[in-house]
Amino acid sequence: MDYQTADLAEYADSIILTRESRYEDWDALGFQTKAGEQFARAQIRYVGSGATGDHSNDTRTIKSQGFTFSNMLLPAGAEGPEHTHFDSEEAFFVLEGEIEVAVHRGTEIAKRKLGYRDMIVVPAGVPRSLKNVSDKPALFAVIIGTGKPQVPSYPETSVMHGITRD
């Protein structure tokens, strides 16, 4: 919709995304449960597809023009496996619960706990992982600094190494 020519009220409605219009997509990263049920988590998309694949048919999202924005719902004990985004930085902002984030370099790992309104920004090329270390679900915002991120790679040290999306 073109800002200059569209009805302004319709244009305003086209750039607003409500919580009520979102849904939890448990299939977006469902392939990762091949490595274990602890990798089950839901993506809740707002802007773009994130790096989870092609969700261009998801009409509830706004097309990305330079970044992606989603929420991730991580059940108690659930994990996000080690992986690397080589083309963009990635940020996590905790909305609910507590997560443990880890930065990896080969076999060396640095872990930190993040809670409500805490944030980590991971530069492109830096492997990271995360885990919900509480007994309650965690919800956090995920921002990836490019319009259509490459699918991340999983290094040999990741439990996802060699697991396919099919």
Q: Which of 29, 34, 32, 31 is nearest to 44 (CA)?
A: 29
Decide which of 147 and 56 is more confident: 56
Are the CB atoms for 14 and 36 separated by under 8 Å? no
pLDDT of 152: 67
Provide the β-strand partners of residue 80: 130
pLDDT tops 80 at residue 155: no
User: Strand, helix or coil at 64?
Assistant: coil
Within a 10 A sphere around the Cβ of 71, how many other Cβ atoms? Answer: 19
pLDDT of 18: 92
> What span, in angstroms and rounded, lies between the C-alpha atoms of 105 and 9?
50
Are the CB atoms for 47 and 14 separated by under 8 Å? no
Ordered by where they begin, the domains of the chain are 24-144 (2.60.120.10)
Confidence of residue 66 (pLDDT cuts 50, 70, 90): confident
Average pLDDT over residues 66-74: 92
